[in-house]
Amino acid sequence: MAKKPRSAQDRGFFAIGEARTAHKHFGKKIDREGIMRKFGSFCIMLMLIIFTPSLHAGNVDTQGIGAKATALGGAFSAYGDDPFAVYYNPATLTQIRSAMISLGAHVVKPEMKVSRYAVNGMNAGSSAIGPDWFGDRSHTLIVPHLGFSLPVSDSVTAGVGLYAPCGMDIRWPMTSDNPGVYNSYHSWYRREVISPAAAWQLHDQVSVGLGIALGRSFTGVENWTYFPALPGLHNRFVDTDMEDEGNWSINAGLLIKPLKALSLGLTYRGRAETKFRGTTKVKGVNEGDDLTGTGASVYNTCVSSTTKIDSPEQIQGGIRYQPVESLSLEVDLVWTRWSSIKGYTLSFDRKFLDAPALGLYNPGRTEQYYARNWEDTTQLRCGVEWKVNDILALRGSWFYDPSPIPDSTFDMQWPDGDKRTYALGIGLNWGTVNLDGVVQYTCTARKREIEGESRNLNESYLGGQGAPKVSLSGDGHLWGAGMTISYRY
């Protein structure tokens, strides 16, 4: 069977069979002490990433992992030649010819605007709200990435990556000028993983890869309470903060190279099942406080809460074509099974905000259901790379990302719309050191118009009784930039 060529710099990570101090590998001897030093440096960098505080993902779906892949719009399933192939397509690890470590970060700054936010249809005791105009106050978010890959033999390559495959962190004004605070003024969801993988070159034209993504997920929401008839409970802060006990999913890939100038990639990323645990509490209200001045006391102001919000599976397929050696064109399709998220229930161990003396008007509940009914999406991702010379490469991309969120379940916790993303990137190659950079711009394809059909928004104002209906118009954009530095041994 034909074997792929390797450079003289290639090294083995461990010897199979008897332990020995030296072993012939691609015409050179293994420097075991050198390998251990390299692996030790990787472990130190790994710990730095793990213990770095306040790391957040930037969107409900990844904006990019690694500056090179991001500059190509994520159209990387048939290209992958750095350690982040463990995400895009683990089979492409076989294209890496020497030990390689990569470290970088993606910085994201979203900006969203909401206009004519209004609530109508409540009882006479609750006046209509709005229309109001406001924008988000989300922080600049940092998404780090770290990866390491190493050829083990002339047909097997191993790799490991740390990255955030999905997430979001949205903040809105926490003032009465923003009536959306009754649904959410801060919401977040993120998954952070470490993903080991291995790839096998079965033939010169065929490689397969398999990895497992071991993750932790975090979610939460903060909002105000809306109970105009209960002065002691109206406009109070509610905080739900949860994390899961650990989750996992598989990454499987296939790479076929029928021609020297043509590569085909296919990737399956499995569903990650979660079980979140945490607390839900109201601030500014104590156990036994009188809500109305008539002896209607409230209890269970802090309860334990649980829910499930899984990360859905994806299938990514792509083509890389090189009409000439210095130019490559990439096109990928990414299908995401968002329809697996029909909704989720926030369950409490006791009746949260229980006020028995209020009878039918008791705001207490043992659970809160959030309808989602998200829809499957297919992204189109297109990238181009021009290698100007041995040192400089220029890259650009465009991709279209339709929103999975229908109007019927749109809310301030998961604001989203159809998006277009443009990126420009640069790659600098100095032999053993590579520096990749990218600048990215995302904008909504059209304004999001809600005219009272959102169940989640409407239910935020049920404390006003009647039949509340929320209307709004929203749009936004996002700026991103990233840098990755890689070292080849």
Let me know if residue 16 belongs to a domain. no
Let me know if residue 293 belongs to a domain. yes
Asked if residue 223 has pLDDT above 60, the reply is yes
Model confidence at 34, in pLDDT bands (50, 70, 90)?
Answer: low
Asked if residue 199 has pLDDT above 60, the reply is yes
- Total structural domains within the chain: 1
Let me know if residue 352 belongs to a domain. yes
CATH of the domain at 306: 2.40.160.60
Model confidence at 412, in pLDDT bands (50, 70, 90)?
Answer: very high
Contact 98, 207 (CB under 8 A): no
Other beta carbons within 10 angstroms of residue 398's beta carbon come to: 15
Say what the pTM is. 0.86
Model confidence at 300, in pLDDT bands (50, 70, 90)?
Answer: very high
Q: Average pLDDT in the 220-241 region?
A: 92
More confident residue, 19 or 44: 44
Q: What is the pLDDT of residue 12?
A: 32
**DSSP per residue, 240-258:** EEEEES-EEEEEEEEEEEE
Model confidence at 146, in pLDDT bands (50, 70, 90)?
Answer: very high
More confident residue, 147 or 125: 147
pLDDT in tens, 233-258: 889 999 999 999 899 999 999 999 99
How would you write the chain as a 3-class SS string? CCCCCCCCCCCCCCCCCCCCCCCEECCEECCHHHHHHHHHHHHHHHHHHHCCCCCCCCCCCCCCCCHHHHHCCCCCCCCCCCCCHHHHCHHHHHHCCCCEEEEEEEEEEEEEEEEEEEEECCCCCCCCEEEEEEECCCCCEEEEEEEEEEECCCCEEEEEEEEEEEEEEEECCCCCCCHHHHCCCEEEEEEEEEEEEEEEEEECCEEEEEEEEEEEEEEEEEEECCCCCCCCCCCCEEEEEEEECCEEEEEEEEEEEEECCEEEEEEEECCECCCEEEEEEEECCCCCCECCCCCCECECCEEEEEECCCECCEEEEEEEEEEECCEEEEEEEEEECHHHCCEEEEEEEEEECECHHHHHHCCCEEEEEEECCCCCEEEEEEEEEEECCCCEEEEEEEEEECCCCCHHHCCCCCCCCCEEEEEEEEEEECCCEEEEEEEEEEEECCCEEEECCCHHHHHCCHHHCCCCEEEEEEEEEEEEEEEEEEEEC
pLDDT in tens, 55-81: 333 345 677 899 999 999 999 999 999
Let me know if residue 5 belongs to a domain. no
Q: What is the pLDDT of residue 128?
A: 77
Let me know if residue 7 belongs to a domain. no
Let me know if residue 48 belongs to a domain. yes
Q: What is the pLDDT of residue 19?
A: 31
Let me know if residue 446 belongs to a domain. yes
The three-point CA angle 480-485-486 to 5° equals 135
Q: Average pLDDT in the 367-387 region?
A: 95
Q: What is the pLDDT of residue 25?
A: 35
Residue 401: HSE in the Cβ half-sphere, 13 Å Cα cutoff = 23
Q: What is the pLDDT of residue 33?
A: 53
Let me know if residue 219 belongs to a domain. yes
Q: Domain of 156?
A: 24-488
pLDDT in tens, 47-62: 444 444 333 333 456 7
Q: Average pLDDT in the 169-184 region?
A: 92
pLDDT in tens, 303-359: 999 999 999 999 999 999 999 999 999 999 999 999 999 999 999 999 999 999 888
Model confidence at 293, in pLDDT bands (50, 70, 90)?
Answer: confident
